[in-house]
A and B are shown apart, each in its own frame.
Chain A
Amino acid sequence: MEEADKSWSEAPVSRRAFVGSAVIGSAIAAAAGVFYPLARYLLPESKSGGGKKETYTVALNEVHVGEARFFTFKRRPALLIRKSDTELVALSAVCTHLGCIVKYHEESKQLLCPCHGAKYDQNGRVLGGPAPKPLTAYNARIEAGTIVVEEA
């Protein structure tokens, strides 16, 4: 019995101190769990929309003529179509009907929505189906062998 007591008293941290720090640590973690989201919610956004425009860049030779490339722009799916050597179209890939992701059909050069059959041409104009308005267009330009997509 005495030996056991001895080993406890020789422990680097007393049980009381350990439990005390564990309680305080949990309390701090719980408080951080409340105050971190609160601070993020109230502070103005610094990442996106903070004056700086979001851009997407891709090397020109990675996108072949007639091909479409899907990418994430403004946290939503978007697509880039290279119509010819220099002609580029960048569009939001979110269908204006109910928000499904449109697919690009290279042969018909049309964008089709798999959900309710909305049809768009290469420039995002509505060809048929339930879509109420054209796809949101972005600016796409070529800068020294790189494609740069920006908000229109």
Chain B
Amino acid sequence: MDELKLGPITLRNRLVLKGFEILDRRFEIKEILDEEVFTKLAPTHLGIFSCFGGITFFIFLMQIMTGLLLMIYYVPDTQSAHKSVVAITNDIPFGWAVRGLHFWGANLMVLTVMIHMGKIYFGGIYKAPREMNWVTGVALFLLTMGFSFTGYLLPWTQLSYWATVIATEAPGAMPVVGPLTKSLMLGGPDVSQVTLSRFFTLHVMVLPAATFGLLIAHFLQIRRQGISGPM
């Protein structure tokens, strides 16, 4: 009968508790929450720079959601790609917002990844026993670069076309493996529909899948090893 004193919110609290009970009876989530969430408190020595891994993950989730929305209207065809991007920006309601979030999220994500890496590097946090977490982290950084590189071509503007020409000429100048690498990236002698198709596939399927896999490894490692002590 104590609950009655809480006033009008009690009913809602009861519903939330009831929902929790229903799940708990079947999956014993109280035990998981106690073990994994409520007893794992953040160490007090953490500062703002310790947050950038989490911020990066948050931006990545935003990129997934806005990316899915963009994919609904984007057409990966050299004749229609630019037209569809212009339509998203100018004609589709709130398309400017979705594209803007994706664009700025992409730029910000590179920045937050850099800050995160800087913290880990200059704090010496990559040292044993966390070397493998540094390795998955660097792989995730390279994937972020891959996202930026492949996503830049998709609007099919002059800027994106020539950026891709230049960025594939560079590995093409490598000795021995250069020409092979370049034609593997472009799918032919120059930037064409084939290039757009494979960049699109990389951007929306291959890189996200690889990123998710590595993120799981990255998070399991920190879960197991814990956050490193103060400097």
- Tell me the A residues contacting B by CB distance below 8 Å: 14, 16-17, 20, 37-38, 40-42, 45, 49, 75
- What's the minimum C-beta distance from B33 to chain A, rounded to whole angstroms? 22
Chain B residues packing against A (C-beta within 8 Å): 6-9, 69, 72, 90-95, 97-98
Q: Which of B9, B90, B94 lies in contact with A41, CB distance below 8 A?
A: B94
12 A-B pairs with CB atoms under 8 Å apart are: A14-B7, A16-B9, A17-B8, A20-B9, A37-B93, A37-B98, A40-B94, A41-B69, A41-B95, A45-B91, A45-B92, A45-B93
Which secondary structure characterizes the binding site on chain B?
helix
Q: A16 to B92: give the CA distance in the assembly, Å.
A: 43
Q: Is the CB of A41 within 8 A of B98?
A: yes
A41 smallest CB distance to B (angstroms): 5
In the complex, number of A-B residue pairs with CB atoms less than 8 Å apart: 32
User: Smallest CB-CB separation from B95: which chain A residue?
Assistant: A41
Closest partner residue, chain B, to A47 (CB atom) = B93
* Cβ–Cβ contact A37 & B8, under 8 A: no
How far, in whole Å, are A17 and B94 apart by their CA atoms in the complex? Answer: 35
Q: Kindly list chain A residues whose C-beta atoms are within 8 Å of the C-beta of B97.
A: 37
- Please pick, from B9, B72, B90, B94, the residue contacting A37 in the complex, using a CB distance under 8 A: B94
CA distance A45 to B88 in the complex (A): 12
Q: How far is the CA of A17 from the CA of B95 in the complex (A)?
A: 39
12 other contacts beyond A37-B93, A45-B91, A49-B91, with CB at 8 A cut-off? Answer: A14-B7, A16-B7, A16-B9, A17-B8, A20-B9, A37-B94, A37-B98, A41-B92, A41-B95, A42-B69, A45-B93, A75-B90
What are the 8 A-B residue pairs with the smallest beta carbon separation, nearest first? A37-B94, A40-B93, A41-B94, A20-B9, A17-B8, A16-B7, A40-B94, A14-B7
Cα–Cα distance between A147 and B187 once the two chains are bound (Å): 54
Closest to B6 in A: A16
Q: Which residues of A contact B8 (CB under 8 A)?
A: 14, 16-17, 20
User: A36: nearest residue on chain B (CB-CB)?
Assistant: B94
- In the assembled complex, the CB of B89 is this many whole angstroms from the nearest CB of chain A, namely 12
Does the CB pair B7–A41 fall under 8 Å? no
- Tell me the smallest distance from the CB of A61 to a CB of chain B, in Å: 35
CA–CA, A37 to B94, complex, Å? 6
Q: Which residue of A lies closest to B92 (CB)?
A: A41
In the complex, the chain B residue whose C-beta lies closest to that of A74 is: B91
Q: Shortest Cβ distance from B218 into chain A, in angstroms?
A: 28
Minimal beta-carbon separation of A1 from chain B (angstroms)? 21
Q: Complex formed: what's the CA distance from A38 to B69 in Å?
A: 9
Distance in angstroms between the alpha carbons of A39 and B72 in the assembled complex: 13
- Which residues of chain A are within 8 angstroms of B6 by Cβ–Cβ distance? 16
B86 to chain A minimum Cβ distance, whole angstroms, is 11
Residue of A nearest to B88 (CB): A41
Whole-angstrom distance from the CB of A79 to the nearest CB of chain B? 20
